[in-house]
């Protein structure tokens, strides 16, 4: 751990705490100066220190832990080595299968163990890398390997940039637990929680913060009170020495929320180790420093009165826990000795009655480092009651928003609600609006593979004037066609309609066009104040084709080519708008006999579906002669540069008709097209003035006759 010595008395952050002696762990792993691990048993009248577990945790200075069965016997023990790797062993020293290589740190105080909900015999091990400031978790299954256990998943990253402090709450009402930790950010401690569930450990949520006048430390200790109604966090980096050493919050356990922050000054020493007394009356504390004489003391929580128990307990201290014998133990370190100091009666009213003993448990060898275990605060091993899965709370929402139903089981995977008024749902947290009356509410949940049910008779009573919702509508409607809904409700002052396709309105009697076909359930909520009644009915929305078309024609061509782009049609009727004809072709071709604007209509007749029509106005007929081509009625071929040549006028890109000029005796005077034109000559000499006849012959259709005057 950068910035502090590796060899110091240290503990994983929290332990089972409550007023009864059997609410604490009765066996601890204890680390020696060489790093090897012993088990210490607190069941005897005086604690018994066992033999070494050979080669376990060699070179590590902190982070040991264990999990016990309901009888208090150790199931497995964890310890970190000099390489920062954690291994998992049976108390005999044998590895559990796949039990090596868990990510850790040789100088991290932090790890924690909790049962995995819905998986008997499985446990989450939460472990910490103090260099990278990361939490991980792994899963051990003690049912495997002939009962010797196996790690089935390891090194699942849980959080980045978090401190060493970890605490696990006792089981919540619905079967989960809270994992609590903190991070250091912007000169503040940020308290975090994550939910421990059957599927894993969830996302972190910040639930509180505390700014301080010094340097927040990543190795601060985080503790839960025995009743799980308080959290304490040490602040060893706060300055000056007289500044607060710890901060406390009130904890709403079920909600996982903090209130009422209190900062308390405990000592002139830099305080790191904290522990609540078994009955929760005192907060014990110990200093952490390179000076020999740090304080060990306690604060009465009711009055915040501080008592120093030992002003010279040792140096570099942090380990402090209550044990299964009801006593509190704290590391006590001198120049050549290492002991566990004991407070025999931690909740005693006076220090004399508390019976403090600095040298209660002595160890042979220099540098004995008694790192202590962390388990579940306030819950004896194996004592968690069965979760109450089939239960719920009801929240009356403000205004006319109804009632929200909140199931208490966090392990449920399916819900069946019966609201007692003929309605129900499978939504996890539904909102329901009741009519007037008294209603029995039922809930059936599936949790941990089993079914659970609760019925609460006469649970909700609603008073007021009861509207009666009713409405009428056609049994069927065509897609995209407007359908009217008639509101026939009684005693209603307002209404909300839900059309069954995600659309809604507060119009009392709406009209609506369904954009898509299918069976839709229409819901009407009739209101009188906040009292509501609901009526539902089914409407069948029949599919309709979506007709559309465009044209693909040459403007010089008299034919108009129609391109059908209809969706969902089966048969088609075309009306070209010129009174000429209709067509049932898919892509018809039509000749407009005159120029003009024509409204063309395409109607689909899709069998069992609904008829639908699409209309578009076309400007057509420009390819038809004589509309597009014409001849001026006079010209003056006198070489003055104006109107000297008689030409056929019309759309330039289109092919010109052929024109012939005849004199009054019917003789052919000239023949040509728009590109040539008549210059007023006949046989190489100027033609006489007068009236001449012309004939224009188009590519298709009849010829056009007319007269033109030649004037010089």
Per the structure, the complete domain to which residue 512 belongs is given by 471-538
Q: Please report whether residue 691 resides in a domain.
A: yes
Dump the DSSP string for 109-143: --EEEEEPTT-TTEEEEEEEETTTTEEEEEEEETT
Residue 372 has pLDDT above 60, yes or no: no
Burial of 268 (0-12, 13-18, 19+ CB in 10 A): middle
On average, the pLDDT of the chain sits at 88
Q: Please report whether residue 288 resides in a domain.
A: no
> Which residue, 410, 438, 460, sits at the end of a domain?
460
Same domain flag for 568 and 420: no
Residue 330, both tokens: 């704290």
Same domain flag for 36 and 138: yes
pLDDT for res 378: 82
Q: Please report whether residue 215 resides in a domain.
A: yes
Distances, alpha carbon 486 to alpha carbons 253, 468, 507, 533, in Å: 52, 14, 11, 16
Q: Please report whether residue 590 resides in a domain.
A: yes
Domain at 690, CATH number: 2.60.40
pLDDT digits (tens, 9 = 90+) for 100-113: 999 999 888 879 99
**Among candidates 493, 532, 534, which has minimal Cα distance to 400?**
532
Same domain flag for 609 and 669: no
Answer yes or no: are the C-beta atoms of 545 and 612 closer than 8 Å.
Answer: yes
Answer yes or no: are the C-beta atoms of 418 and 442 closer than 8 Å.
Answer: yes
Same domain flag for 116 and 186: yes
E-strand ranges in 506-583 read 511-513, 518-528, 531-542, 549-551, 559-564, 572-575, 582-583
Same domain flag for 452 and 481: no
Strands 482-484 and 476-478: unpaired
pLDDT for res 1: 33
Q: How far does CA 513 lie from the centroid of its chain?
A: 34
Q: Please report whether residue 672 resides in a domain.
A: yes
Residue 24 has pLDDT above 80, yes or no: no
Same domain flag for 397 and 430: yes
Residue 699 has pLDDT above 80, yes or no: no
How many CB atoms sit inside 10 A of residue 225's CB? 23
Answer yes or no: are the C-beta atoms of 117 and 198 closer than 8 Å.
Answer: yes
Compute the distance between CA of residue 13 and CA of residue 30 in angstroms, rounded to an integer.
15
Same domain flag for 179 and 250: yes
- What are the residues whose beta carbons fall under 8 Å from the beta carbon of 639, sequence distance 6 or more? none
Q: Please report whether residue 62 resides in a domain.
A: yes
- Its pTM surpasses 0.75: no
Give the count of domains, the chain: 5
Answer yes or no: are the C-beta atoms of 129 and 84 closer than 8 Å.
Answer: yes
> Which residue, 486, 519, 538, sits at the end of a domain?
538
Residue 20 has pLDDT above 90, yes or no: no
Q: What is the 3-state secondary structure (H, E, C) of 329-342?
A: EEEEECCCCEEEEE
Residue matched to tokens 């990278």: 132
Residue matched to tokens 């029509």: 613
Q: Please report whether residue 521 resides in a domain.
A: yes
Mean of the pLDDT values across residues 576-583?
84
pLDDT for res 190: 97
**Among candidates 535, 544, 490, 480, which has minimal Cα distance to 512?**
480
209 or 608, which is more confident: 209
Dump the DSSP string for 308-371: EEETT-BSS---EEE-TTS-EEEEEE-SS-EEEEEES-TT-SSHHHH-EEEEEEE-SSTT-B--
pLDDT for res 607: 65
55 or 492, which is more confident: 492
Residue 604 has pLDDT above 70, yes or no: yes
Same domain flag for 555 and 532: no
Answer yes or no: are the C-beta atoms of 9 and 333 closer than 8 Å.
Answer: yes
Q: How confident is the model at residue 2 (pLDDT cuts 50, 70, 90)?
A: very low
Residue 678 has pLDDT above 60, yes or no: yes
Residue 276, SS3 per DSSP: strand
Identify how many contiguous H helices and E strands the chain contains and give both numbers.
1, 57
Compute the distance between CA of residue 129 and CA of residue 712 in angstroms, rounded to an integer.
111
Mean of the pLDDT values across residues 376-400?
90
Same domain flag for 574 and 443: no
pLDDT digits (tens, 9 = 90+) for 193-249: 999 999 999 999 999 999 887 788 999 999 999 999 999 999 998 878 889 999 999
Q: Please report whether residue 47 resides in a domain.
A: yes
690 or 17, which is more confident: 690
User: How many residues can be counted in the chain?
Assistant: 712
Residue 620 has pLDDT above 90, yes or no: no
Mean of the pLDDT values across residues 290-294?
84
Mean of the pLDDT values across residues 151-171?
95
Residue 360, both tokens: 């209660």
Q: List residues bridging with 616 in a β-sheet.
A: 600
Compute the distance between CA of residue 125 and CA of residue 116 in angstroms, rounded to an integer.
10
Domain at 142, CATH number: 2.130.10.10
> Which residue, 430, 460, 490, sits at the end of a domain?
460
Answer yes or no: are the C-beta atoms of 61 and 7 closer than 8 Å.
Answer: yes
Mean of the pLDDT values across residues 66-70?
88
Strands 634-635 and 704-710: parallel
Same domain flag for 532 and 559: no
Same domain flag for 60 and 190: yes
Residue 23, SS3 per DSSP: helix
Compute the distance between CA of residue 246 and CA of residue 238 in angstroms, rounded to an integer.
9
Residue 22, SS3 per DSSP: helix
Q: How confident is the model at residue 608 (pLDDT cuts 50, 70, 90)?
A: low
Domain at 434, CATH number: 2.60.40.10
pLDDT digits (tens, 9 = 90+) for 109-150: 879 999 999 999 999 999 999 999 999 999 999 999 999 999
Dump the DSSP string for 56-92: SSTT--S-EEEEE-TTS-EEEEEEE-TTSEEEEE-TT
Same domain flag for 193 and 79: yes
Compute the distance between CA of residue 288 and CA of residue 318 in angstroms, rounded to an integer.
6
pLDDT for res 11: 29
pLDDT for res 62: 83
Residue 346 has pLDDT above 90, yes or no: yes
How many CB atoms sit inside 10 A of residue 130's CB? 24
């Amino acid at each position: 751990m950068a910035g502090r010595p590796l060899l110091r008395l240290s503990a994983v952050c929290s332990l089972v705490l409550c007023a009864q002696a059997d609410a604490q762990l009765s066996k601890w792993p204890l680390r020696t100066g060489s790093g090897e691990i012993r088990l210490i048993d607190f069941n005897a009248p005086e604690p018994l220190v066992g033999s070494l577990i050979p080669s376990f945790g060699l070179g590590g200075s902190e982070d040991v832990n264990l999990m016990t069965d309901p009888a208090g016997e150790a199931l497995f023990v964890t310890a970190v080595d000099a390489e920062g790797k954690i291994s998992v062993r049976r108390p005999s020293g044998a590895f559990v299968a796949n039990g090596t290589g868990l990510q850790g740190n040789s100088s991290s105080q932090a790890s924690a163990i909790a049962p995995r909900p819905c998986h008997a015999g499985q446990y989450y091990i939460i472990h910490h890398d103090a260099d990278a400031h990361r939490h991980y978790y792994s899963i051990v299954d003690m049912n495997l390997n002939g009962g010797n256990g196996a790690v089935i998943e390891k090194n699942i990253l849980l959080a980045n940039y978090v401190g060493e402090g970890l605490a696990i709450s006792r089981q919540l009402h619905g079967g989960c637990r809270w994992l609590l930790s903190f991070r250091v950010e912007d000169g503040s401690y940020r308290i975090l929680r994550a939910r421990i569930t059957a599927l894993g450990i969830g996302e972190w949520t910040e639930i509180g913060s505390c700014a301080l006048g010094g340097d927040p430390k990543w190795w601060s200790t985080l503790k839960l009170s025995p009743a799980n109604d308080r959290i304490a966090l040490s602040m060893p980096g706060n300055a000056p020495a007289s500044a607060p050493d710890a901060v406390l919050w009130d904890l709403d356990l079920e909600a996982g929320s903090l209130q009422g922050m209190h900062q308390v000054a405990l000592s002139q020493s830099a305080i790191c180790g904290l522990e609540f007394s078994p009955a929760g009356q005192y907060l014990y504390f110990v200093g952490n420093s390179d000076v020999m004489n740090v304080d060990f003391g306690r604060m009465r929580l009711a009055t915040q009165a501080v008592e120093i128990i030992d002003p010279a307990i040792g140096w570099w201290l942090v380990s402090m826990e209550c044990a299964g014998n009801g006593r509190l133990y704290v590391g006590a370190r001198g120049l050549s000795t290492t002991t566990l100091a004991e407070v025999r009666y931690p909740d005693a009213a006076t220090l004399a009655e508390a019976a403090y003993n600095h040298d209660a448990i002595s160890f042979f060898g220099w540098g004995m480092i008694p790192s202590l275990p962390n388990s579940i605060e306030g819950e004896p091993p194996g004592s968690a009651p069965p979760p109450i899965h089939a239960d719920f709370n009801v929240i009356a929402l403000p205004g006319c928003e109804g009632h929200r139903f909140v199931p208490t089981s966090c392990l449920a995977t399916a819900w069946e609600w019966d609201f007692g008024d003929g309605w129900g749902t499978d939504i996890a947290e539904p909102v329901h609006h009741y009519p007037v009356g008294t209603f029995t509410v039922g809930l059936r949940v599936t949790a941990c593979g089993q079914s659970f049910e609760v019925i609460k008779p006469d649970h909700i009573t609603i008073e007021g004037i009861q509207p009666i919702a009713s409405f009428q509508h056609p049994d069927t409607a065509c897609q995209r066609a407007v359908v009217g809904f008639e509101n026939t409700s009684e005693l209603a002052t307002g209404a909300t309609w839900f059309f069954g396709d995600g659309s809604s309105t507060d119009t009392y009697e709406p009209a609506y066009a369904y954009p898509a076909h299918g069976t839709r359930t229409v819901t009407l909520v009739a209101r009188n104040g906040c009292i509501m009644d609901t009526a539902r009915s089914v409407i069948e929305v029949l599919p309709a084709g979506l007709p559309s078309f465009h044209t693909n024609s040459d403007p010089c061509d008299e034919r108009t080519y129609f391109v059908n782009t209809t969706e969902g049609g089966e048969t088609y009727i075309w009306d070209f708008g010129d009174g000429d004809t209709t067509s049932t072709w898919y892509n018809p071709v039509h000749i407009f006999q005159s120029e003009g604007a024509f409204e063309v209509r395409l109607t689909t007749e899709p069998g069992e579906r609904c008829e639908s029509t699409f209309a578009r106005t076309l400007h057509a007929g420009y390819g038809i002669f004589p509309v597009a081509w014409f001849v001026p009625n006079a010209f003056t071929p006198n070489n003055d540069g104006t109107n000297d040549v008689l030409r056929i006028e019309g759309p330039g890109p289109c092919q010109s008709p052929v024109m012939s000029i005849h004199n009054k005796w019917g003789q052919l005077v000239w023949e040509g097209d728009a590109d040539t034109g008549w210059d007023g000559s006949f046989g190489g000499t100027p033609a006489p003035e007068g009236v001449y006849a012309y004939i224009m012959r188009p590519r298709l259709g009849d010829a056009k006759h007319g007269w033109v005057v030649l004037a010089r």
